[in-house]
Each structure stands twice: as C-alpha cells, then as structure tokens.
C-alpha cells in the first residue's frame, strides 16, 4: 500500500479497533496540550492506522473539554495522511432513524469557547471551508459502510452544539428550520482544525436517537447507549472494509496543499514561538 496512513477518531461507543495487527498504544506529546488519550497504532490489510478515542478510553472527556487541537496535532505528528471521524449524533429528520449511519458533508458550528484554530496572533492563515469534508474519502467510507451492512444516508448537514447538555425543544425545532439533519457536540472545531493541518477529513455519523423535536419526548441516555453499542460493531466493520478497499496508491487531494494559499502573515512578521508550536501543522510549507 503506497502513501496511506489513516487516522481514525472514534466517537462515543468506539474506543478501540480489535482487528489491528501489531497494536500498540503510544503516547504523543503535543505543544497544544494533552490529547484525549494515547493513540492505538497498528496496521490492517497493509495500511498503517492510528486510532484516537475522542473521549478517551472509558469516556472520560466531555465534549466541551475536548482538546481538538492536540488531537489533530498528534495525528499529524504520527504521519497521518487522512482522517476518518466517527461520531454519535441525534437525528433531526424522521427518515434518519436510530441505528442508521449518515455521511456528513456540511456543518453549522454553534460551539463556543473552544479554540478553533492553530493560527493565532503572529501567524495568520485563512483556510477555505466551503466544502468541509473530503469527497473522495467520504465516498470510500460510504461504500465501506454499505459493505459492512449499514443503512447509510449521504449529503447531511451536522449542527455542532456546545453541550454537554442536550437541546431545548425550541432549539431542536430551530435547527430543523435551518435545514440541519443531525446534531452532535464534537465535530467542530475538529473538522476546521483537520483542514488547517492539511488532513482530508470525512465524518461518519452514527444515529443513536431522535432529538427532542420528536414526539414531544426527551433524549434518553440509556437508549442512546444501547444503540451506540450496537452501532459500534458496524463502525468497526466499516473501518475494516474501508481499509481493504482503499486504492493501492493514495490519490492526491487538494486539501494536501491547502496552506499554499492560506498563509497571510509576512515571513518577517511571523512569531517564532508560535511557529515552534506549528512545527507539525506547517511542516510541509516550512520544508519539513
């Protein structure tokens, strides 16, 4: 296999990959703080993988305390070329039923108070986000999910909320009116940071429940956990199917070089301290 190293960010219910060959949990230091956990490295069908449980093993880290910068940074440091994220979501549509999977292609970010960029004062960059996921990786993942037996929907908008509380009914109905399809607490700013790190990103959402717009009820955590555990087996099979179906040679993505047209701070005005923290994120444009 040429060129692939796939990063997997496992969401609620997906805390490890049992099928990995030569598995090893490795601790990677990041200048952006502590990531959610160590990273499980190994290989599958000749492809190197790096698996990071987003909430940590045992689900220790709540969504509003996730250090998405450190999580993306450590995957970049490990040499990942692409990132597949798996997340549990609530449904804002009747046809997106619990147990179904959704290939997300758009986001509305309603998070607050979460660092959402690597590029701070002293090194400014503006990456494009009109199409926030990698179409080629999303296509591979969608095909793999079907092969794993999932009922999968495509072309969905994900509303990212702050959490850790669930929505009010008024909010849930508002988000429906905005044209959102699923709701979750973790994909932003994760997807933005992956783009800044030049990592093509795809998101498979596991529907665990209907949000509170549905039938006048409220969100039931016990039911979420039940569906989440059932979905996790399909998610693991999807990862296996995806890796086995990847092209023998990794096709280039425009996202691989997105920083070429995003950096705006003049070289002589760049902050050396911040550049030091950006050593992995900017390695390609700084010559390694």
Query: How much of the chain is helix, strand and coil, in % rounded to 5?
Result: 30, 25, 45
Neighbour-count burial for 123-151, b at 16+ CB within 10 Å, e otherwise = bebebeeeebbbebbbebbbbbbeebebe
Residue 271 annotated in active site: no
Which of 240, 246, 256, 229 is CA-nearest to residue 42? 240
- Tokens 């986001």 belong to 107
Q: Residue 41, Cα to own-chain centre: how many angstroms?
A: 17
Exactly one of 37, 209, 237, 256 is catalytic; name it.
Answer: 209
Cβ pair 224, 106 in contact under 8 A: no
- SS3 assignment, position 264: coil
Rg (CA), the chain: 18
Exactly one of 73, 181, 211, 256 is catalytic; name it.
Answer: 211
Q: Residue 85 contacts by C-beta under 8 Å, 6 or more apart in sequence?
A: 8, 9, 11, 54, 187, 190, 191, 201, 202, 203, 204
The rounded distance, in Å, linking the Cα atoms of 38 and 21 is 17
Residue 209 annotated in active site: yes
Neighbour-count burial for 180-209, b at 16+ CB within 10 Å, e otherwise = bbbbbbbbbbbbbbbbbbbbbbbbbbbbbb
- What are the residue numbers of the active site? 209, 211
């Amino acid at each position: 296999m040429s060129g692939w190293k796939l990063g997997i960010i496992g969401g609620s219910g997906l805390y490890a990959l049992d099928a990995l060959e030569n598995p090893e949990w490795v601790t990677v230091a990041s200048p952006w703080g502590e990531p959610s956990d160590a990273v499980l490295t190994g290989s599958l069908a000749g492809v190197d993988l790096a698996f990071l449980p987003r909430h940590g093993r045992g689900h220790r880290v709540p969504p509003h305390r996730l250090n998405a910068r450190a999580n993306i940074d450590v995957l970049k440091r490990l040499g990942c070329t692409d990132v597949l994220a798996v997340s549990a979501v609530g449904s804002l549509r009747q046809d997106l039923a619990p147990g179904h999977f959704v290939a997300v292609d758009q986001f509305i970010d309603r998070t607050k108070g979460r660092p959402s960029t690597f590029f701070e004062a002293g090194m400014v960059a503006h990456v494009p986000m009109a199409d926030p996921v990698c179409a080629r990786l999303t296509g591979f993942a969608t095909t793999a999910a079907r092969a794993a037996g999932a009922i999968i929907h495509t072309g969905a908008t994900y509303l990212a909320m702050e959490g850790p509380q669930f929505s009010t009914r008024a909010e849930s109905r508002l988000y429906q009116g905005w044209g959102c399809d699923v709701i979750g607490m973790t994909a932003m700013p994760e997807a933005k940071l992956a783009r800044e790190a030049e990592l093509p990103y795809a998101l498979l959402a596991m529907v665990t429940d209907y949000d509170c717009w549905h039938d006048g009820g409220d969100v039931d955590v016990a039911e979420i956990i039940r569906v989440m555990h059932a979905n996790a087996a399909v998610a693991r099979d999807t990862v296996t199917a995806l890796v086995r179906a990847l092209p023998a040679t990794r096709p280039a993505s425009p996202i691989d070089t997105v920083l070429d047209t995003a950096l705006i701070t003049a070289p002589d005005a760049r902050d050396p301290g911040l550049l030091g923290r950006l050593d992995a994120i900017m390695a390609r444009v700084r010559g390694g």
